[in-house]
Amino acid sequence: MNILAVESSCDETAVAIVRDGRDVLTDCIASQVDLHRIYGGVVPEIASRKHIEAIYGLADQALKETGLNRQDIDAVAVTYAPGLIGAVLVGVNFAKAAAMALNKPLIPVHHIRGHIAANYLAYPELEPPFLCLVVSGGHTMIIDVRDYTDMEILGTTLDDAAGECFDKVGRVLGMPYPGGAALDKAAQRGDEAKYSLPLPKPDANPYDMSFSGLKTATLNLIHHAEQVGEELDTDSLCAAFCATVSNTLVPRVVQALKETGRRKIAVAGGVAANSRIRRDILKAAEELDAQVFMPPLSLCGDNAAMIGAQAYYEYLAGNTAGMELNAYATKSILGERV
Ligand code: KG4
Ligand code: ZN
């Protein structure tokens, strides 16, 4: 089954064609990141306009690259939530028009389910059940993936997403947007012991997390150094920051593996590209004799191939939509019908 998949929830316009949920025939991306960098973050209005400009061309490019005809497309999938509402709407409207014109099923896909499904592309042998640590610009969650479309949220951030904090701290340190990758690189040259940052622990649910206190403490430390004229060791501060984020995430993953008895841990989302988090997960999993699944960096960020992968399983579960499909800025990853 060839699925034409569309992703436009943030600042990447992407169209892919994926066969049977696992085989990426093409994965076309037009990134707007350079454009938003001037403003230090994504400007929603600009994002929507650029999606409109790029989306038709990308779909044409996807067909050309695979040599497929429109008739060879069996279904159209799209990220319908969550994201910047204007941006998501562009993809949803395009996908609705395409599904209607081709007279094929329309499959709505939750963006975070897509991030999890990036693992199916990287690891053809991976099947649920498994645990997934989702760490992106907008979400931080530990999810029990019981089946392809049956999930349970074990824990979530109670305030900021990890990626949001990376980007905010990166911005204040003068790093180009989005700051996560630059911060990661700087951290590798630093000494994490030089700075001590708070490790917040919400106490209601052991799997829940909090990052806003860490963000504020890091920003305060930077501003204080500026005010008193103290030279900041940026690399070491980045190292301490990455270590603290990882020390928030990884022990919870370890506890979840122990308590659920799952033997597989997958990671997903842009922050899953972080080298410190990757290293700590690998180490922890080795100690627990658990299998680790880490998609390559190209599949960790936003792309349409991951949407096409999840779409196949949504289709098998009967989760298709009609022309009434709407876009949503926020929506739970849990499987309520659209
Ligand atoms: O999943 P994603 O591409 O978009 C969302 O759905 O949010 O994630 C983007 C986030 C940004 O916050 C970016 O700074 C972060 O992923 N990121 C990283 C790294 N590479 C990207 N954060 C930490 N370390 C990295 N190496
Ligand atoms: Zn994403």
For the stretch 238-296, pLDDT in tens is 999 999 999 999 999 999 999 999 999 999 999 999 999 999 999 999 999 999 999 99
**Does residue 33 sit in the same domain as residue 98?**
yes
Ligand 1 atom nearest residue 9's Cα: 6
Q: Is residue 238 within 6 Å of ligand 1 at its C-beta?
A: no
- At 307, which CATH number? 3.30.420.40
The model's confidence at residue 76, banded by pLDDT at 50, 70 and 90, is: very high
- C-alpha dist (Å) from residue 67 to 62, 72, 146: 9, 10, 36
Using only C-alpha atoms, what is the Rg of the chain?
A: 20
Count: domains in the chain? 2
Alpha-carbon span 249 to 226, nearest angstrom: 30
Q: In what order do the strands lie in the sheet with 12-19?
A: 23-31, 12-19, 2-7, 75-81, 106-110
* Predicted local confidence at residue 248, as pLDDT: 96
**Does residue 158 sit in the same domain as residue 267?**
yes
Is the pTM value of this prediction over 0.85?
yes
Give the mean model confidence (pLDDT) for residues 296-312: 95
Q: Which of these, 64, 101, 84, lies nearest to 9 by C-alpha position?
A: 84
pLDDT tens-digit series, residues 53-68: 999 999 999 999 999 9
Instruction: Report residue 288: phi and psi, to 5°.
Output: -95, 0
**Does residue 144 sit in the same domain as residue 175?**
yes
Alpha-carbon span 56 to 275, nearest angstrom: 35
Query: What share of the chain in percent tops pLDDT 70?
Result: 99
pLDDT tens-digit series, residues 162-218: 999 999 999 999 999 889 999 999 999 999 999 999 998 777 899 999 999 999 999
- C-alpha dist (Å) from residue 155 to 135, 243, 279: 12, 20, 21
Q: Is residue 267 part of a domain?
A: yes
* Predicted local confidence at residue 287, as pLDDT: 96
Domain that holds residue 149: 128-298
Q: Is residue 187 part of a domain?
A: yes
Q: Is residue 82 within 6 Å of ligand 1 at its C-beta?
A: no
CB-CB neighbours of 146 under 10 Å = 14
* The pLDDT of residue 337 is above 60: no
Q: Is residue 280 part of a domain?
A: yes
**Does residue 287 sit in the same domain as residue 189?**
yes
Q: Is residue 288 part of a domain?
A: yes
The verdict on whether omega for the bond into residue 295 sits within 30 degrees of 0, i.e. cis, is: no
User: Using CA positions, which residue lies closest to atom 13 of ligand 1?
Assistant: 180
Ligand 2 mean position to 60 CA, how many Å?
A: 23
**Does residue 97 sit in the same domain as residue 177?**
no
Question: Which of the 8 DSSP states describes residue 158?
Answer: S
* Predicted local confidence at residue 228, as pLDDT: 96
**Does residue 246 sit in the same domain as residue 179?**
yes
The model's confidence at residue 336, banded by pLDDT at 50, 70 and 90, is: low
The model's confidence at residue 84, banded by pLDDT at 50, 70 and 90, is: very high
**Does residue 41 sit in the same domain as residue 165?**
no
Q: What is the mean pLDDT of the chain?
A: 95
**Does residue 14 sit in the same domain as residue 78?**
yes
Pocket residue to mutate for ligand 1, from 271, 276, 277, 281, most atoms within 8 A of Cβ: 271
Give the mean model confidence (pLDDT) for residues 127-155: 96
Q: Is residue 337 part of a domain?
A: no
The residue type at 151 = M
**Does residue 6 sit in the same domain as residue 57?**
yes
What count of Cα atoms within 13 Å lies in the side-chain half-sphere of residue 304? 33
Q: Is residue 179 within 6 Å of ligand 1 at its C-beta?
A: yes
Q: Is residue 8 within 6 Å of ligand 1 at its C-beta?
A: no
Ligand 1 mean position to 316 CA, how many Å?
A: 30
Q: Which of these, 166, 110, 161, lies nearest to 310 by C-alpha position?
A: 110
**Does residue 186 sit in the same domain as residue 135?**
yes
* The pLDDT of residue 335 is above 70: no
**Does residue 176 sit in the same domain as residue 102?**
no
Q: Is residue 322 part of a domain?
A: no
Alpha-carbon span 337 to 47, nearest angstrom: 28
**Does residue 289 sit in the same domain as residue 308?**
no
Pocket residue to mutate for ligand 1, from 7, 42, 79, 136, most atoms within 8 A of Cβ: 136
Give the mean model confidence (pLDDT) for residues 74-91: 97
Q: Is residue 269 within 6 Å of ligand 1 at its C-beta?
A: yes
**Contact by Cβ (8 Å): 164, 135:** no
Q: Is residue 169 part of a domain?
A: yes
pLDDT tens-digit series, residues 117-134: 999 999 999 999 999 999
Q: Is residue 328 part of a domain?
A: no
* The pLDDT of residue 227 is above 90: yes
| 330 Cβ contact partners less than 8 Å away, ≥ 6 residues apart | 81, 82
pLDDT tens-digit series, residues 29-50: 999 888 888 888 889 999 999 9
